Amino acid sequence: MTKLKFYSGLKEIGGTVVAVETDKAICLFDFGFSYADRLDSKVPLRKGMEAYDYVRLGVLNAIDGIYEPEIAHKLDIKGCGETDKEIFVIISHMHIDHMGGLGALDQRIPVYMSSQSATLYHELGVMGELEIREHENVIPVDYDGSFTVGDITITCVQVDHDVIGACGFMIKTPDGSICYTGDYRYHGYHPEISAAFAQKCKGADVMISEGVTISHNDVDVLSLEGPYRDNNEYTLLDKMKEYASADSEFAGGLIVINNYNRNVERIHNFARVIKETGRELVLEPEQAEYVAAFYQEDEFSVYLPEGGSVDGLLIKNRRIVTRKDILANPSRFVLQQDYKHAYELFELAGVISVYLHMDGAPLGDYDPSYAKFYELLSVARINVVRCGLGGHAEPYYLRKQVDDIAPRTLIPLHSFRPEQLLSRNVERIVLPNLNDTIELVNGECFFENNAWCWCSNKR
Ligand SMILES: [Zn+2]
Ligand SMILES: [Zn+2]
């Protein structure tokens, strides 16, 4: 028998942790933080005790067999190597709510992810962006590649999301098939990749889907007849080109972009169109390193405000642009700036013609930093244009993906209101409670009495 256990991430956005357990093995996905707001950056985690502190905070889950024995015993659970089944982790993409906890695992736990995610994961480690430490036992898997642990076979199926390397998974056990969408969208550069995901997972017995965009407003997804949004990565690319061109209203000064720096494909495309306008694209070392890991040929320079060098990085031979260079000739450049370096804007404010806030932190007014940041921009008298796109499929596509896959059972999660994701093309929809177990027998799900359930008339 196959059991699905839901540890966290059901009615929240973040910390999706689900176990698929058979007689021989346990597959866990994903491994990010839930309730990350319980962390207070003013209180540092204790060195060597990070995993323990995270579990006690409820940010990570108490799960047998995945933590170092010493930590696990203190938590009253079994340590790595002390369970009788093989345990492994699969990760859909490099967003903190899906991978932030990897550094807490015992280094022996095998962690599978797409090859592109593995490249980005390593670069995040190089740039000091990982929590606790870089996990050593990472196994890259090509898109459409499969591997088997015990009697569980996993296929890595690419999706389009706002981070390079994103995938979902098809999980097959002797009792049935489970498709996990990870996070995905249809307004990126490759809507066809998300559509292909649906074709490849068609007919899965169980579909576990994200539902971020139905989190806040009332949405009747069954009545939606088509997509409503009219912007996407291509319209943003056009806008970037227009703003950077010589006859734009912003031609007289420096253009600053605040991009989400794991979305390297956006910068890859920007590099091309910005070059056509005659401006020079200048990236901070972190962003530059991430882009260089995937697109060696892209033309960009590296921003070091005071000058210097970036030895030891992939970008070590790139041209360095300093603050002085920019102040001397601001209209020649497009400069990428992370929120972390916002005070640098005080130096540049006088020459900035526009600041393009495009999916970089702070993302929205739910983040306490957001109001502070906009206050800073206003105090510095910086002209801001918001042009973010987000990374999640709009409600119409959330439903269409379910319609197309047509699973027997749908389990929506990763949403504040997962019950809003409905489809007439499924037999039933189940919303388990935390720590519930769903049994999968012959492709059919059996679940606890108190779980929420919706049946279509297909059944
Ligand atoms: Zn994501
Ligand atoms: Zn997510």
Any idea which ligand is nearest the CA of 15?
A: 2
Q: Which residues surround ligand 1, an ion (CB under 5 A)?
A: 95, 183
Any idea which ligand is nearest the CA of 36?
A: 2
Break the chain into its structural domains and give their ranges: 2-224+392-455, 233-386
Q: Cα of 450 to ligand 1 centre, how many Å?
A: 30
What residue ranges in 30-96 does DSSP mark as E strands?
86-90
Alpha carbon distances (Å) from 171 to 86, 99, 391 = 16, 19, 24
pLDDT of 128 reads 94
- Phi, psi dihedrals of residue 203, rounded to the nearest 5°: 80, 10
Q: Cα of 9 to ligand 2 centre, how many Å?
A: 9
CA distance 255 to 385: 11
Answer whether CATH 3.30.540.10 is correct for domain 2-224+392-455: no
pLDDT under 50: residue ranges of the chain = none
Q: Cα of 206 to ligand 1 centre, how many Å?
A: 21
Any idea which ligand is nearest the CA of 159?
A: 1
Any idea which ligand is nearest the CA of 211?
A: 2
Strand order in the sheet with 444-446: 138-141, 111-114, 86-90, 25-29, 17-21, 2-8, 437-441, 444-446
Q: Cα of 90 to ligand 1 centre, how many Å?
A: 15
CA distance 111 to 373: 36
Any idea which ligand is nearest the CA of 210?
A: 2
HEC secondary structure over 93-124: CCCHHHHCCHHHCCCCCCEEEEHHHHHHHHHH
Q: Cα of 450 to ligand 2 centre, how many Å?
A: 26
Alpha carbon distances (Å) from 454 to 5, 12, 134, 217, 394 = 20, 20, 42, 20, 22
pLDDT of 427 reads 94
Q: Cα of 215 to ligand 2 centre, how many Å?
A: 12
CA distance 359 to 319: 26
Any idea which ligand is nearest the CA of 167?
A: 1
Prediction pTM value: 0.96
Residue 253, judged by CB atoms within 10 A of its CB (0-12, 13-18, 19+), counts as middle
Any idea which ligand is nearest the CA of 94?
A: 1
Q: Cα of 93 to ligand 1 centre, how many Å?
A: 7
Any idea which ligand is nearest the CA of 166?
A: 1
Peptide bond into 362 cis (omega under 30): yes
Q: CATH classification of 233-386, choosing from 3.40.50.300, 1.10.20.10, 3.20.180.10, 3.40.50.10710?
A: 3.40.50.10710
Any idea which ligand is nearest the CA of 215?
A: 2
Q: Cα of 14 to ligand 1 centre, how many Å?
A: 9
Q: Cα of 13 to ligand 1 centre, how many Å?
A: 9
User: CA angle, 403 as apex, 399 and 405 as ends, to 5°?
Assistant: 115
pLDDT of 459 reads 58
Q: Cα of 95 to ligand 2 centre, how many Å?
A: 7
259 beta partners: 358, 359
pLDDT of 39 reads 84
Nearest to 158 by CA among 171, 142, 147, 146: 142
Nearest to 72 by CA among 108, 44, 100, 29: 108
Any idea which ligand is nearest the CA of 32?
A: 2
Q: Cα of 219 to ligand 1 centre, how many Å?
A: 21
Q: Which residues surround ligand 2, an ion (CB under 5 A)?
A: 97, 183
Q: Cα of 163 to ligand 1 centre, how many Å?
A: 7
Q: Cα of 247 to ligand 1 centre, how many Å?
A: 36
Q: Cα of 3 to ligand 1 centre, how many Å?
A: 26
- What share of residues in the chain are helix, strand, coil (percent, to 5)? 30, 25, 45
Any idea which ligand is nearest the CA of 93?
A: 1
